[in-house]
Amino acid sequence: MAPSISRKIAFDVLQRVEAEGAYASDALHAELDVGPAAAKLKAQDAALTTELTKGVLRWRRLLDFLIERYTSKPVERLDLAVAIALRMGVYQMRFLEKIPVRAAVNESVELVKRARKSSAAPLVNAVLRKIAADAKSPADKFLLPGMSAAERLAILHSHPAWMVKRWLARLGEAQTIALLEANNHTPRLSLSVHAVEQRDETIRALETSGLRIEPGALLKSAFAASGGSPARTEAFRAGQISIQDEASQAIPLLLGVRAGDRVLDLCAAPGGKTAALARAAGESGTVVAADLHAHRLRAMAAQLKRLGLQNVQLIQLDATSPLPLRATFDKVLVDAPCSGTGTLARHPEIRWRLRPEQLAESREQQKLMLANALDTLAPGGRLVYSTCSIEPEENEEVVAHFLDSSSTVRAVPAAAAAKTLAPHLAPHLDLSEFFAATDGFFRTAPSAQRTDGFFAAVLEKM
């Protein structure tokens, strides 16, 4: 019996993530929204595919820990197809109430056969049947005595131990556990509507298409969707909505772009923030959007065309080198490439790819980008430096380097930075949740705001 379409797609996506370094969200979009099977795929099948893919990636450490109790070797030494089939089987038995154990076992065996690893089918069958007896037992009953707190939490909450250890040192146990738990929850699928006057009409159209719509948690202009794929709706195809986390939507608002401004978006792809800047600058403004990779700029061009935005000039450049730009800009956004530790719920594969030494490497790259960006900022202009990281190396340490060494750059006080965002914030929120009075920086936390974890510093050139 062939495995179900949901499991086949999830298995193939997981292989791409592990073997090719693909991002799960991109691979799922290619299969579920625009791939050859997308039109025929039922909504419940697409939902199960996503659940299996993201769930296995989030809980990989715990799944491997449980699997290794019944194998004679670490999971990393198993053939990749076998490891993925085992993880999928254990995940279904442990986390999905509606999946019978027999189905989880049998379909995992069929996936191994489909991958031409039939010789491993008896192993997969035997291991999963042994695990089934303890599938719902608390995982802490299997932990060895004497484990460090970091190692214990790393297994139970499925994160790398080095990551947990540094968070414990900086945040304490309670905040660390809250962050770990938030990283293992399915994040809200946040949308923005581009024509505010058509907001209600757009929401009704999305609900008619079968989506469930809820108010945003952070911004007035945002809302959350569930029960289907917004990318398959007419509202999306017509450029009326975009899919973007609310914290990410907030970042360009901090610049306070006005009609006619000259704006530089230095690390622009995939373009969600660029679109917000272009709408704020209007037809009388100029927006230059830059990125290192040509293929990402091509994808941005298609995105901007879908949104009907024509006032954006795309340019390929390396932001760590002196910029080939003669003009100066009123507003500059540096949404710097980073570790992405604020997005581990949305992109769980990052936790398994990131290495601790990369944080310091990123910091040096980010310093170069920020230095080059400041050179293009006009006197009196405003620059926002942001990341989707929650690590000091990529955030406070980068900004402090310039504030401590430059007499022409200052941090915008918290009250002034908050004033720019205030008109856009949901009415029930207090700005003090996001701006620390001590440094004026903007921060969101997955455990507090139900968004990605973002950092932003608002700077001005004097």
Which residues are designated catalytic?
388
Residue with token string 């920020």: 370
- Report angle CA 240, 245, 251 to the nearest 5 degrees: 95
Residue with token string 């449980």: 66
Residue 313 tokens, joined: 């000039």
Element (DSSP H or E) covering residue 165: helix 161-171
Comparing CA positions, the residue from 268, 402, 276 lying closest to residue 336 is 268
Sign of the dihedral defined by the CA atoms of residues 246, 252, 257, 263, in that order = negative
**Residues 6+ positions from 250 with CB-CB distance below 8 Å:** 218, 219, 421, 424, 442, 444, 454
Cα–Cα distance for residue pair 355/160, rounded to 1 Å: 9
Coil, strand, or helix at residue 190?
strand
Q: Are 88 and 108 in contact (CB under 8 A)?
A: yes
Q: Are 386 and 334 in contact (CB under 8 A)?
A: yes
Q: Are 402 and 369 in contact (CB under 8 A)?
A: no
The CB density around residue 203, as the number of other CB atoms within 10 Å, is: 19
Per-residue HEC secondary structure of 237-294 comes to HCCCEEECCHHHHHHHHCCCCCCCCEEEECCCCCCHHHHHHHHHHCCCCEEEEEECCH
